[in-house]
Structures are given as C-alpha cells and as structure tokens.
Structure 1
Amino acid sequence: MEAVRREAPPMLSAVVVNYNGGKRVLRCVESIRRHGGMVEEIILVDNGSQDGSAEAVMAAFPETRLIRLSDNPGPAVARNRGLVAARGRLVLLADADTRLTERALELLLQTQSATGAAIVCPRLILAPGTGTVQCDGAAPHFVGTLILRNANAAPDIGGPPRDVGGIISACLLVDRAAALDAGGFNETFFFYFEDLEFGLRMRLLGHRIVCAPRAVVIHDRGTGYAGLSFRGTGNYPRQRAYLSMRNRLLTIAICFHWRTILVIAPALLLYELATLVLALMRGWLPLWARGWVWMFTHGREVRQMRRSMQARRKLRDSEVLAGSPLPLAQGLFKSRMLTVATEAFSRLLAAYWRLARVAAY
C-alpha cells in the first residue's frame, strides 16, 4: 500500500521593519531565530536608520537579508517591500519594538493552519513590565477609528482563537498572496491608521482575521518615534494629530459603502464636530483644516482607491464595523469632565449604531 504523502508545511518568511530600533531590533530578530527551523528566512527592511541598528543586526545575524530604504517612507512602504521580497507563503510581519515569547510563532502557525485565516494576530503585552494587555486583535469602529479588544486588561492564560474585525500591525502572521492581491498596506497613510485601513479592507474583501490570545508578543513601548508617538503623558504630537484626523477621513472614503455613509451621516457629522472642538481646544485647527484640504486636493486619487476597493468587496459594512466602545488614546483627556462627556458620547454612538446598522450596507 502506497504511503500517504503529507503536504510539506508552507515556507515561512519573517519581515522585520526597523527605523532607529537600537537594541530593540536585535532582541526582535533574536526572538524570531529562537523559534528554530520554523522561519526559513529573515528579512530586515530598514527605513533609513541613522543609529547603526541595521549594521548591528547584520553583524550579529549575517544570514539576514537586508533591504535598505534611503529615507523613512513609513511602515506601510517597508512592509510592502518585505512582502514582495519574501519567498514564503506565510510571512511574519514584526516591528522592531516587538519580540516573540516562547511558542508564540508555533501557536500562530497552528491557528492559521486550523482556520485558514489570511491574518493571524497574537496577544500584545506592553513592556516594560508584563502587566497590561495592549490588545487581543481589534475592530473597526463605524466612525472610522480602531477599537483595541481587551485593551488595558490584566493578562491571563488567554482563550481559544477567535475571529476579530481588525488588527494593529505591530506583529502579524499574514498570507502573503492574499495580502498582495488586496494591494498590501496603503502607502498613502505613511503612519497611523494604516493598519486600520488594511485590516478593514481585508475583511471587506472576505478574508478572515483571527486572534490567538495564547500566542504572546511583547510590544516595547519605549519612547516611540519622535513627533509621532504618544505614551499617555506630555503633549500630544501635532503630526500624529494631523495624521489621525486625515487618515480617519481617508479610511471612510475608501472603505465605507455610500449607503453606509448616508445612514451614519448624522453620527459622522457629530463626531467631526467633536473633533473640531478638540482641535480648537488644543490649537489643532490648522491641522484639522489641512486634513480636509488634503482630501479635496487629492480627490482623484481618493476616488481611484475607492473604486478599486468597492468593486471587489464581498462583505457588507454591517458585517464588519462595530459600534462600541469609542476608542481614544489613553491620557488624551486629563479633565474628569471631558472623560465623562466622552463616555456619554460613546454610549450615544453605540445606541445609534444598533439602529443604523439595520439600514447600513
């Protein structure tokens, strides 16, 4: 009797995105290498680092393939370059400030094999310390922002894999062909919400996203990127504020069906009014106006992206979008009154979505 032939496991590539990652990128690559023969190639995509971190990786791990970009075009561009260069059917996308814990990659691969998901995301735990969950996957809010599932909870052993509606892109296991067929990450975004738009687009195209909470990845918050990152204290960066306001509008324009936009227009207008009030309070009015000006001056480009997305969609917005809670950066509001008002606003939006989703596309 002829022996049953077992299909060889798919080749797995790892793509590490680095920008002045210092010692963190060394820890990231080392955590991937510790998973033995599961990873058959590691690609470092360096976004024009000036701190010598790319050279340090190549000295410590000379088998690594280096793709050096001459400037810092942003993580979306770097991930796309890595996806194109990778040879594996599956690709682990990891930012330089993440590191895999023991068995994390094994559990991600098991989950992908069992579910066939196009994207599998781990549980992210914030560092320093291991006492706070950053998220167990995410969900796209119907006002165009991103909800982090189980955010700020105390870690437990984690439940079984579960379908989620969105991602944050710090660490992901991705089906390379599906991601590239969808167009990869939208390089117009540069930074912030590029993961919201990519995950939402993948879901609307009919792909599954699954979170494996028992696959734990440490996300080192550190100081982040100057002028872009916010860690709950100090001034909220102006460039981050601009990108978050503009990219929210861009996500809605590309991904939402016209009928959904029409149905939720009152909520979108109310949210935009709240954003305008915040912009006035924080001195961001020029940034808010700049976001709207960008949308109009790049109208042709936005319409092209929208047509491409809408022509291929397989799921309805009502099957993917969520209505609560309203996500806001921790530490954005320091006033108790504003915090209470925001919570009330979140409940109002959630109630609106419960009614509106019936008529939304």
Structure 2
Amino acid sequence: MPLVIDVSILIINYKCPDLTIAAIRSVREWTRRVSYEVIVVDNESQDDSRERVLAAEPAITWIDMGYNAGFARANNRAIREASGRYYLLLNADTLLCSDVIDESVRRMDAEPELTASAPLQLHEDGTRHPFYRSFAEFRRVFYIVPIRFQGFVEKCLPATQYADPRQHDWLVGAFMLVRREAAEKAGLLDESFFMYGEDVEWSYRLGKTGKLVYFEDLGFIHLTNDSPFRRKDVSYVNRFNTQMQVSNLLWLRKQYGRGAYLVVMLNYLILAPVFLGWKMTVNLLKGKSPFRDLDNQLRFARRVRVLLHYFWPTWTNKPGFYRIKPEENIA
C-alpha cells in the first residue's frame, strides 16, 4: 500500500500535557502544505496527560509505553506505527513560529541526497541557541582541563570539514526530520540509551546514508526555560547531569571505542581528588576550615562514582538500558 502521508510527527510526553498540547497546536497553525499525522507516546506519566491531550487534540494517535522508556525506545515505538515519508522527531517543549515543516519537506524533496535536516533552535525572543556542529566539538566538552590546555584538546580533536556549508556531523533531536528510507538503512535509534546521546549516535549512522544538514534560515522555538527537564545549577566542572554523562560516555564508547572512553574516564578520576585538594588548600590559605564550601567538589566526586558504576557495562559495550537509578541522580 503506497504511503500517502508526508510527515509522521513523533512527540514524547512525560508529565507535560500543557507543553504537548501547545506543540501540537503550533503544528496545526503553521503546517498547511504537507500532509501529516501526529503520534504521541506517553512514558508512563501517571497523571491526566492522556485525557487532557486527547480532549484538546482528538485526531492524534496516542500510545502508552507502560513504563518510562526514555527518548530512543519511545520514538522507535512511534516510528513502527508511522506511515509518513518522513519522520519528524519533535520535542514536547517546542513551538513552531513559521512554516518550517512545510519548507523543510519541500527542500528535502528537492534534494534526494539529504538524509535528515533540522532548523535552528531559537529562544522565545528569537535569538539562537548555541549548538555543536561536529562530533569533535561535542567531544571536546567532555574534557575538564585548565583553560590553557583547551587549545591542545581542540588540536587533538579537529572538526569535520564539508564542502556543503549546511552539512554537519549531527542534528539535535528536538526537531529532526529524517527520510524514511534512510532510517530503514541506518536502523532505528539505539535502545540502550535512556535519554541524551541517542540523537548523536543515530546521526552517526544516518550520516553514512547521506547528508545531514541544518537550514540556518529556518527556526523553531525551544522552551528551555519552561522545560521541566533542564538543569540550572551548572558549573565548569559540574557541566553535565549524571544521566546525561552516562549516555554521553556510552555514545563515545560505541562510536570511538575503548581508548577514547578510557581517556575521558581517566580525566575525571584524576580531576576528582585534585579538585577537592585544591579547594581544601585554598580554604587553609584563607584561614578557613579545609572542609568548608566543598559542595561543588563533592558533587563532582559523587558523579564520578556513579560513572564508575557503569564503567564495566560501557567498557564491554554490553547491551542494556542505561538508565540511572533515582539515587544516582546527583543534584
């Protein structure tokens, strides 16, 4: 039976019915030229999300996962139900502000060599979110080193260069339009990931089938300030939440192997006591108790301990579901 729908829009809901409803309404408002279906997958919200979303948008397809499956597994479940020529991974905490879906489909139809595309993420005031343009740029952030050594890390991990200035190594999963045939060739998202890192890993495999491009004249609003999933207590050392870094390191191991993974882990293992000892020394030099104001240092040490808990499964690339335990979510 031939496909008749242009785009299957896939949204994951987790205790955020208001955001989901607003995202769908923005799709309805701005998407006029292409046909589409909306599939919402609920990750066991245990609230009134189903009733509220279906009351507001009865035409959607609603799927209950039955457990908190995270991003990759929930999107894969939606993909298996989807009938569109394209899959659009769309975050619940997004709003369209233009005909970005229509225009993205038009451009990808015109260029069959494009595997996947994305517009730029915008703040509500229209300013751009920063984003990583290459795997190397992303990997550099994993290393926590003194400022004077950052140039050395950059030289060791040069960014990929493409003839097409639109082309990049990976696209952000908040809005990711993927050609159906490319997904069939590359395979679906890796279900070992719970949250974070899965869009990077999928981009690596999708990139083997064609170009991944950003349309930098197109954009969508990503409501990071309103999202319940964002950390705000970020410092230079404590730059990742624990789940994020477990997933990031899983991606690093899968794509770059044991050596690259081990180097990053050694960086953290060396830094943890150095960071703690430095702060204690500073306290003593200032005439204070050495054990004063160590929250940041101890928080980093606790995160490293959690990473070590997942070291062996990650080192051996053991299939599984890399979702941290509630008590491992270091605040």
1:31 pairs with 2:8: no
- Does the aligned pair in 2 maintain the 1:143–1:267 contact within 8 Å? no
Equivalent of 1:294, from 284, 288, 310?
310
Equivalent of 1:99, from 95, 114, 133?
95
Distance 1:139 1:63 in 2: 38
Q: Secondary structure at the match of 1:105?
A: helix
After superposition, the C-alpha distances for 1:327-352 in whole angstroms (9 at most, x for unaligned) are xxxxxxxxxxxxxxxxxxxxxxxxxx
Q: How far did 1:135 drift?
A: 4.0
Distance 1:233 1:142 in 2: 19
Distance 1:276 1:194 in 2: 31
Equivalent of 1:209, from 209, 212, 226?
212
Distance 2:73 2:303 in 1: 24
Equivalent of 1:44, from 40, 65, 71?
40
Distance 1:287 1:216 in 2: 35
- Does the aligned pair in 2 maintain the 1:276–1:288 contact within 8 Å? no
Distance 1:74 1:265, change over 3 A: closer
Aligned residues: 277
What does residue range 253-268 of structure 1 map to in structure 2 within 5 Å? Answer: 253-256=253-256, 261=259
Letter of the 1:28 counterpart: A
- Does the aligned pair in 2 maintain the 1:144–1:249 contact within 8 Å? no
- Does the aligned pair in 1 maintain the 2:32–2:102 contact within 8 Å? no
Q: Secondary structure at the match of 2:89?
A: strand
Equivalent of 2:122, from 102, 121, 125?
125
- Does the aligned pair in 2 maintain the 1:161–1:212 contact within 8 Å? no
Q: Secondary structure at the match of 2:214?
A: strand
Q: How far did 1:256 drift?
A: 1.5
1:285 pairs with 2:301: yes
Residue 185 of structure 1 is matched in structure 2 by 189
Residue 67 of structure 2 is matched in structure 1 by 71
After superposition, the C-alpha distances for 1:17-62 in whole angstroms (9 at most, x for unaligned) are 1112232211111111221251331111111223423322211221
Q: Secondary structure at the match of 1:284?
A: helix
- Does the aligned pair in 2 maintain the 1:83–1:180 contact within 8 Å? no
Letter of the 1:27 counterpart: A
Equivalent of 1:197, from 198, 201, 225?
201
- Does the aligned pair in 1 maintain the 2:5–2:37 contact within 8 Å? no
Distance 1:15 1:136, change over 3 A: same
Distance 1:74 1:175 in 2: 22
Pairwise CA RMSD of aligned residues? 3.6
1:176 pairs with 2:180: yes
After superposition, the C-alpha distances for 1:206-242 in whole angstroms (9 at most, x for unaligned) are 43110012221111113433xx5213669x999x632
Letter of the 1:249 counterpart: L
Name the TM-score, length of structure 2 as normaliser.
0.71
Distance 1:54 1:237, change over 3 A: farther
- Does the aligned pair in 1 maintain the 2:253–2:315 contact within 8 Å? no
What does residue range 56-67 of structure 1 map to in structure 2 within 5 Å? Answer: 56-67=52-63
Q: How far did 1:122 drift?
A: 0.8
Distance 1:267 1:25, change over 3 A: closer
- Does the aligned pair in 1 maintain the 2:132–2:138 contact within 8 Å? no
Q: How far did 1:190 drift?
A: 0.8
- Shifted more, 36-45 versus 7-16: the winner is 7-16
Name the TM-score, length of structure 1 as normaliser.
0.65
- Does the aligned pair in 1 maintain the 2:224–2:230 contact within 8 Å? no
